[in-house]
Structure 1
Amino acid sequence: MSDAPGADSPTRFYLVNFESYLRPKQPNKCQPLQRFEKPNGRTTFLYRNLKRLKILRWYSSASKRFEQLPLPKFLGFLRARNDDGLCKRKTGFEIYCEMASIHGFHIFVGAKTWQRILWWLLICNAVLLSLILVVMSLSMSKETPTIRFIDTMMKPTAKVPFPAVTICAFNTIFTQGLQNREWMSASVMEQVTRRNASWLELLEDAALPICPLVKVCQWDTRMVNCLDELQPIWTLDQRLCCTFGYNQQLFSSHLGFSFVLRSSDTDLQSSQSAGFEVLIHESHEMPDGATPRLLVPSGSEAHIMLRPYVNRFSRNLEGLSLQKRGCYFPTERRLMSSDVYNQINCLAECRSENILESCGCAPPKSPLGKSWPICDIQQMQCVIDFDHDEISSGEQKNCDCLPPCEFNRYEFQSDIRLIKGMTNNSIVSTSNQGRTNEVRVRVYYDSSTAEELLLDVYENWLTFIGTFGGITGLFMGCSFVSVFELIFFSCVRPTCNWLTRKQILWRRRRNQRVGNTEARSLGPAN
């Protein structure tokens, strides 16, 4: 037999000693491992002092006792883990704390019980404070849904409508008109009743006409007499005045409106103080007793310097209800006396309607309907009693007269000085006492720009997101990602785990059914 290996001989394995393989081939050139002693630093010195004072021992014993305190079942997640996190299954809360972007939650991972409780209290306080501030912000937006602020853009006064200028006299009774009535004697009311004179006729006869007293009228840069544009007007307190620019939209650059007014001694003899009142109001507003005015005595010259304030509203107000915004849009409510809504006109119409319901008529020279009867002398006492009751109550009934959302407000300053050097040969003759009854008034803008005020919502959806995000980010560091994480770990992940368990159980049951079926089929064959 030959020594050659056969075809069926086993394969030879050559074992390699791994430790011998790693052993250096030249051990004489190897250097021994260097060992360094740990230096004594400040931490080691402090640790020795604390250990000497038994502070660390007291701390460890107190922490152990604190960990043994019983916690409610719903606060079981605050108790520290007894293992290193590898043997014990992690809860969903611990997994969320490891991956959460909210400040403070990652402290729960690997922390002790007292540390978890401390951080949990801090997180609860932060959440509570953020909720309180968010609720305060919402309550402020509900209490004050709108806010008015100064716009950064100034509007030229040439684009602001010029106000209406109304001239009224101190003396509201025209004695010459009453003297023309032959039946006006001592017993006035008896004669009035006998003659069947109306309340309207008495007002027209006793009123002093103002427009004929205006001798010179100039408007803006045009040296054209504007006497034809003057029109008489009855104020809401039943005074006959003369107005310029009423129910007109006029624009002025800088010269404005100027007029010269002259009155005779017979017109002023029943008044202790001779002079006129200059009322400044919007062109579509009916003047009343509360309209801003300037008293100009006779024989004086007045310069009235206007400062307009343009009040407009933002388009964001269209989303608010009438109760929240507290004002009417220009085309939201119609009035009988004017095409443009105004709060003063609305209150005047409401007063006329209430008097109509109470007395069966409306007072003359007030906003009236087409078929409303006008009160006569017999109903005057009823109107007086109604006004007295209204003043006593302090409010008007059934009046939804809110201010307009868009309007112009005019403030003015005046400079009044006496006219000196007037002679009989001048435009206006003087009285025997050396006093002139001439009044010169000039009304103009004091600046080329007007301040613009904007009415806007206090808080819209964009500002609310900014406020909510700023508050929650300041206290907790929350963001949209944090919200998605919370939704994922509280809803999506538990649902997926539940479905996975159900699927595993279903597969196990299916496998058991298949196994039982095969066992039954193979049983009789064996």
Structure 2
Amino acid sequence: MTELTDAEKAKTNKNIYPGFRKNFVAYFSQYSDNTSIHCVRYLGQYKRSLLERLWWFLVIATSLCLCIMLIVSTYQKWVMSPVIVSFARSSTPVWKIPFPAITVCPETKTKQRVYNFTNEYHRFNEHPENMTEEEIQMFNQVSLVCNNRVHEKGDKTIASDFIDAFTKVAPSFTDVLWQCKWLNENRTCSDLFTPVLTEEGICFTFNMLDREELFTDDVFHGGNFSQHGIKTENWSLEHGYGDDLGLDTFPRRAVASGQKACLSLLMNLYEPDLDYLCKGAVQGFKILLHSPTETPRVSQQYFRAPLNQEVVVAIKPDMITTSDGLRTYNVDSRHCYFANEKLLKFYQIYTQKNCEVECLTNITLELCNCVAFYMPRVEGTKICGPGSIACIKQAQAEMFTREVTVGLDKNQQTSESCKCWPSCSSLTYNAESSQADFNWPKVFEGFKVNFSEFPGVAMTRVYFYFKEQQFITSQRNELYGFSDFLASCGGLLGLFIGFSSLSIIEILYFVSLRVLTNIKRYGSHFWSGSVDLLEDDAYQHKSD
């Protein structure tokens, strides 16, 4: 028998075996008969017409496109808005949070019997040549705590002894705070309040952290302000009070709601000391409620306690916490900072207001080459004088402009923005106030008190207490966690094409384990197409 040449063998095999393409079609047909994905079986079945295959291909492609579009929409929602703020499941008693820090600022910045700002103002504008350098310097310093539109012609910077000038002319501690009660018990006001320097000059604050705990070591302090020496005891804004703490702790915690657990103040000023050119027509006190971890910004948010009025302040706390599940999210996604996640140069504790003060300080130093007297600073930083008031206002406008610009333009460099997101655990205090005439002279007459001991005195009484025993907190939670996103994707895939995790295993099986089994069975003939898979029992397909 004549032996066949290689060319003849190849020609013979070509007539016997179907080739790789037909074997691949048979392989796909076997997969389509066994897969759980909807409609794919109609693409691989034998004796299906081309029109039927084209129809089912378009159906599968359309369903797959719709499914992908909805999955992309779900993914964008997961990435762009992963956080939802909802109410907590249970209410929180007020004794779990600190009583608000309360800052009181008298509108009287200069006692006229000590320093007549009105007279000095007219002397400076009409006959400045009659004033000595010391008098001009004193006027420039004192004008900083008065209406900043009154005097803007002074020096660009002032000497660092401005605090001594403020203290010399301002009402003293005992002039302002006459009687203090905490939890309906008489207390010495100096045990509860400490002087603090604000943009309103010298004020008096209750329940605020000591400056050693509030500021970093880089901050230079001038004057004995906000230094009461009481340290916090196992308390933080993020975790609250420790379980081992009792009633007597710091920051002082609330005990109950209502006037029975209030802070009451009896304050006074003397009418001969009022200077209407310095602060305008409204006299009395500015009061601010704020967190113990924040420096007061009295000129930004306050309510008034006029002279000879009794003011009742009902406090409603507003607290927002954040679940630990959001710690892994990007800050720009959850829009808040956890404790120690963003470090400030001047403050040990991050809050949104502390961040804004530091940002404003940096911008003011950048534009004016000095900072306002109430801003935190390092030693050697110049203090802005009356001649820099316009520049300070420009710095404030610049900070707001940068924030709005970055907010409107997402492609803007974020380094230009302060990025003062709120704290992930924040606590604010809202106030509902009411007032009535405080006819204290009639009470004095009833007790037969000699009025000559109080010449020209005007009194104001204020009560602070929580309105409710409990309050509802808010909490940031995941709107879409990974499991929620996976479930949503699985539901869409199952709805449109019947795709599941087992479908992935089927595909992996046919492209890996099944192929390896065939290679082991047929060797290189499997790839060359020299094996007729249609004749194999494992690849027999039933027609319709």
Q: TM-score, normalising length from structure 1?
A: 0.68
Q: Does 1:218 align with 2:181?
A: yes
**Matched residue, 1:411:** 430
Q: Residue type matched to 1:465 in 2?
A: L
Instruction: Kindly provide the amino acid, as one letter, of the partner of residue 348 in structure 1.
Output: V
- For 1:310, the equivalent position in structure 2 comes to 319
Quote the RMSD (CA, aligned, Å): 3.7
Higher mean C-alpha displacement, 296-305 vs 386-395: 386-395
- The answer to whether structure 1 residue 487 and structure 2 residue 508 are counterparts is yes
* Residue 338 of structure 1, CA deviation: 3.9
Query: What per-residue deviation string (whole Å, max 9, x for no partner) do you get for residues 371-395 of structure 1?
Result: 2334264xx4245324325415734
1:373 aligns with 2:308: no
Query: How much does 1:279 deviate?
Result: 1.0
Partner amino acid for 1:249? Answer: P
Name 1:103's counterpart in structure 2: 38
- Rounded Cα–Cα distance in structure 1 between residues aligned with 2:133 and 2:394: 24
Deviates more, 1:202-211 or 1:294-303: 202-211
Q: Which has the higher contact order (CA 8 A, sep 6+)?
A: 2
Tell me which of 468, 477, 487 is aligned to 1:447: 468
SS of the residue 1:134 aligns to: helix
Please tell me whether the aligned partners of residues 116 and 275 of structure 2 are also in contact (alpha carbons under 8 angstroms).
no
- Among 350, 353, 356, the residue aligned to 1:344: 353
Hey, what's the Cα distance between the residues in 1 that align with 2:485 and 2:313? Answer: 45
Residue type at the aligned position of 2:176: L
Secondary structure, in 3 states, of the residue corresponding to 2:313? strand
Match of 2:194 in 1: 231
Match of 2:262 among 224, 233, 256: 256
Moved more, 253-262 or 196-205: 196-205
Q: Is the 8 A contact 2:107 2:286 kept in 1?
A: yes
Secondary structure of residue in 2 paired with 1:122: helix
Query: Cα distance 1:502–1:310, how it changes in 2: closer, same or farther (>3 A)?
Result: same
Unaligned 5+ segments in structure 2 are 1-22, 142-157, 210-249, 403-415, 531-544
**Distance change in 2, residues 1:286/1:128 (3 Å):** same
Maintained 8 Å contact 1:337/1:367:
yes
Alignment of 1:129-278 (within 5 A): 129-179=66-116, 186-187=123-124, 191=131, 193=133, 195=135, 196-197=137-138, 199=158, 200=162, 201-205=164-168, 207-209=170-172, 212-220=175-183, 222-235=185-198, 237-247=199-209, 249-254=251-256, 255-268=261-274, 270=276, 271-278=280-287
Tell me which amino acid in the other structure corresponds to 2:469: S
Alpha-carbon offset, residue 344 of structure 1: 1.9
Highest Rg: 1 or 2?
A: 1
Unaligned residue ranges in structure 1 (runs of 5+): 1-87, 510-526
Q: Is the 8 A contact 1:218 1:257 kept in 2?
A: yes
Residue equivalent to 1:56: none
Q: 1:505 to 1:489 in 2, by over 3 A?
A: closer
Q: CA deviation at 1:281?
A: 0.9
Q: 1:202 to 1:221 in 2, by over 3 A?
A: closer
Provide the rounded CA distance (Å) in 1 between the counterparts of 2:274 and 2:451.
14
Give, as a single letter, the amino acid of the residue that structure 2 aligns with 1:212: D
Q: In the TM superposition, what is the alpha-carbon distance from 1:398 to its structure 2 partner?
A: 6.3
Distance 1:309 1:401 in 2: 19
Further displaced range: 162-171 or 110-119: 110-119
Amino acid at match of 2:254: S
Question: Are 1:425 and 2:445 counterparts?
Answer: yes
Note the alpha carbon deviations across 1:128-147, whole angstroms, 9 max, x for none: 12211111122223223433
Q: TM-score, normalised by structure 2?
A: 0.66
**1:456 corresponds to which residue?**
477
Q: Is the deviation greater in 459-468 or in 388-397?
A: 388-397
> How far apart are the structure 1 equivalents of 2:293 and 2:174?
19
Distance (whole Å) between structure 1 residues aligned to residue 117 and residue 304 of structure 2 = 30
Q: Which residue of 2 aligns with 1:301?
A: 310
Aligned-partner Cα distance in 1 for 2:39–2:441: 88
How much has 1:252 moved relative to structure 2? 0.8
Q: Is this contact kept in 2: 1:326–1:402, CA < 8 A?
A: yes
Instruction: Give the direction of change, closer, same or farther, for the CA distance of 1:89–1:381 in structure 2 (3 Å limit).
Output: closer
Relative to structure 1, is the Cα distance of residues 502 and 454 closer, same or farther in structure 2, using a 3 angstrom cutoff?
same
